[in-house]
């Protein structure tokens, strides 16, 4: 037994000196134990030395595992890809096993949409040493020269967005500075480029370059003064377009107030108790009165037609109510039927019911004047009535006044 213990003690001593460099502080502790043995501990050392072969058998598999893992790490590094990923211009180096650009983006938690740009294409295979760039799209509510529209840009600043759109910003008005950053949420941007506009004023052409938002603003920028009733050929609140020609009208004038009649309306109703062509006025009409304001203007020295600008009714008109006869005219007038009315009509009007004298005063077969015709119950003009009605009215006139209304042709009635 003492030989086994000695042998075991020797192996233990040998192990202690071998572990020193492998285990770091273990060797130092063993040496300390050798240099400074404690009373009653010798037996304990022998027992520990006897157990060390078992400890060695346990450590060997662990060492193999460490060696395997070390080799696996080397294989892991050898199987991956070193790539560079740039998101909105911020690059970073990555080691990845992704087989495609799309897989790389998925592993990095990067989502892209229809308005984003990825290069190379997401479906492209990923190679060692590749650089993958992602540029996010940003919405911009752009109003360019008065026309609103919604665009998407991958530029990070206002200046970059204008360059992408090809907008000429020299001399333009910008609602945001050119260096302002565009966040992922986007921004609103109003751009008014410089335009050539020509004003025709006081007989001269005034070309100006402007980035004004309205014609009125462009006028002020050009130093053109507007006075009183002066106006422009286009609405001063409209947007001035490139190459547009705008006239400035110098207007002078005044307003005048006039009182005018308001004509009454005539309401006619049929009355079967009255003969055809006979009318009876139940309510006589009366004109109303209104006050009208007219604007008298001269534009660039040329007088314009007066324009009605205001109206006020001072007195309403009274409607005239008239009954119109519908009873058929009689065929005869007692005491006048036996006369030669055909001969009278031939003498007065050549037998033409629509005849009118040269002065326009007398009309019809028997050359009635308008007043006499109305007094006989006639409507409208005598020359517009039928020959039968004209003869009937002439017979009635004869009963009233004899042949005197026809001083020249009256004798033909007795021929």
Token pair, residue 182, equals 């565009």
Domain count along the chain: 6
Domain boundary among 324, 339, 367: 324
Residue among 163, 162, 164 nearest 175 (CA): 162
Same domain, 339 and 409: yes
pLDDT for 135 equals 93
CATH code for position 267? 2.20.230.10
| Distance of alpha carbon 80 from alpha carbon 127, whole angstroms | 10
pLDDT for 216 equals 93
* 127-137 burial code (b ≥16 CB/10 A, e <16): eeebebbbbbb
Q: Burial-class residue 42 by CB neighbours within 10 Å (0-12, 13-18, 19+).
A: exposed
Q: Which residues pair with 122 in a beta bridge?
A: none
pLDDT for 210 equals 92
pLDDT for 329 equals 77
pLDDT for 274 equals 82
Q: Please say whether the beta carbons of 214 and 240 come within 8 A.
A: yes
Going through 263-366 in order, the beta strands assigned E by DSSP cover 266-275, 279-283, 288-299, 302-303, 307-315, 320-327, 362-363
Q: Between vectors from CA 245 to CA 240 and to CA 247, what angle results, nearest 5°?
A: 100
| Distance of alpha carbon 25 from alpha carbon 232, whole angstroms | 99
- Find tokens 């050539």 and name the residue: 196
Same domain, 276 and 257: yes
Q: What is the pLDDT of residues 58-90, one digit of tens each?
A: 544 454 444 444 444 444 455 689 999 999 889
Same domain, 144 and 108: no
Same domain, 148 and 211: no
Same domain, 30 and 90: no
Phi-psi region of 399 (alpha: psi -120 to 50; beta: other; left: phi over 0): alpha
Q: Which residues pair with 91 in a beta bridge?
A: 86
Residue among 158, 167, 113 nearest 140 (CA): 158
Residue numbers in the chain where pLDDT is lower than 70: 1-79, 277
Distance of CA 54 to CAs 3, 45, 121, Å?
19, 15, 60
The answer to whether the Cα torsion of 325, 327, 328, 331 is positive or negative is negative
Q: Please say whether the beta carbons of 366 and 387 come within 8 A.
A: no
| Distance of alpha carbon 197 from alpha carbon 215, whole angstroms | 9
Same domain, 398 and 343: yes
Given 3-state DSSP classes, what are the helix, strand and coil percentages for the chain, each rounded to the nearest 5? 30, 30, 35
* 144 half-sphere exposure, CB direction, 13 A CA radius: 12
- Find tokens 């300390």 and name the residue: 32
pLDDT for 276 equals 78
Domain boundary among 271, 304, 324: 324
Same domain, 199 and 122: no
Same domain, 110 and 123: yes
Cis peptide, bond prior to residue 120, ω within 30 of zero: yes
Q: Please say whether the beta carbons of 156 and 86 come within 8 A.
A: no
Q: Please say whether the beta carbons of 243 and 263 come within 8 A.
A: no
CATH code for position 357? 1.10.530.10
CATH code for position 178? 3.10.20
pLDDT for 221 equals 87
| Distance of alpha carbon 37 from alpha carbon 22, whole angstroms | 23
| Distance of alpha carbon 149 from alpha carbon 189, whole angstroms | 10
CATH code for position 102? 3.10.20.90
Domain boundary among 292, 324, 356: 324
* 340-350 burial code (b ≥16 CB/10 A, e <16): ebebbbebbbe
Same domain, 118 and 185: no
Sequence-separated (6 or more) residues with CB below 8 Å from residue 108: 85, 94
| Distance of alpha carbon 94 from alpha carbon 91, whole angstroms | 10
pLDDT for 51 equals 53
Same domain, 335 and 284: no
Same domain, 127 and 145: no
pLDDT for 62 equals 53
Same domain, 243 and 257: no
Query: Domain limits at 147?
Result: 138-192
């Amino acid at each position: 037994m003492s030989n086994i213990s000695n042998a075991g003690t020797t192996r233990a001593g040998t192990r202690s000196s071998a572990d020193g460099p492998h285990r770091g502080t273990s060797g130092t502790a063993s040496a300390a134990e050798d240099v400074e043995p404690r009373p009653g501990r010798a037996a304990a050392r022998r027992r520990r030395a006897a157990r060390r072969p078992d400890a060695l058998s346990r450590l060997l598999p662990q060492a193999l595992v460490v060696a395997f893992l070390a080799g696996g790490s080397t294989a892991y590094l050898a199987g991956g890809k070193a790539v560079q990923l740039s998101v909105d211009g911020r690059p970073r180096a990555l080691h990845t096993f992704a087989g495609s650009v799309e897989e790389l983006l998925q592993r990095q938690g990067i989502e892209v949409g229809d308005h984003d740009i990825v290069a190379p294409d997401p479906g492209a295979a990923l190679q060692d040493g590749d650089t993958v760039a992602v540029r996010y799209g940003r919405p911009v509510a752009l109003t360019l020269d008065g026309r609103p529209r919604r665009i998407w840009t991958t530029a990070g600043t206002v200046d970059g967005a204008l360059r992408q759109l090809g907008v000429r910003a020299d001399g333009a008005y910008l609602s945001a500075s050119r260096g302002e950053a565009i966040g992922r949420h986007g921004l609103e941007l109003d751009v008014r480029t410089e335009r050539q506009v020509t004003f025709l004023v006081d007989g001269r052409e005034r070309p100006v370059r402007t980035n004004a938002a309205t014609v009125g603003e462009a006028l002020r920028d050009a130093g053109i003064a507007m006075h009183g009733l002066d106006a422009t050929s286009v609405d001063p609140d409209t947007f001035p377009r490139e190459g547009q020609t705008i006239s400035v009208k110098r207007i002078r004038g005044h307003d005048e107030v006039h009182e005018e009649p308001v004509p009454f309306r005539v309401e006619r109703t049929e009355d079967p108790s009255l003969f055809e062509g006979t009318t009876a006025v139940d309510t006589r009409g009366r004109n109303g009165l209104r006050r009208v304001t007219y604007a008298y203007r001269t534009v660039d020295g040329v007088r314009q037609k007066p324009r009605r600008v205001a109206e006020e009714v001072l007195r309403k008109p009274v409607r005239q109510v008239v009954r119109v006869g519908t009873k058929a005219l009689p065929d005869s007038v007692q005491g006048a039927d036996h006369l030669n009315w055909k001969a009278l009509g031939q003498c007065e009007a050549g037998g033409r019911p629509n005849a009118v004298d040269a002065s326009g005063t007398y009309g019809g077969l028997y050359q009635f004047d308008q007043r006499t015709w109305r007094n006989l119950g006639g409507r409208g003009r005598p020359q517009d009535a039928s020959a039968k009605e004209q003869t009937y009215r002439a017979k009635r006139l004869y009963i009233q006044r004899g042949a005197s209304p026809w001083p020249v042709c009256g004798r033909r009635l007795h021929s």
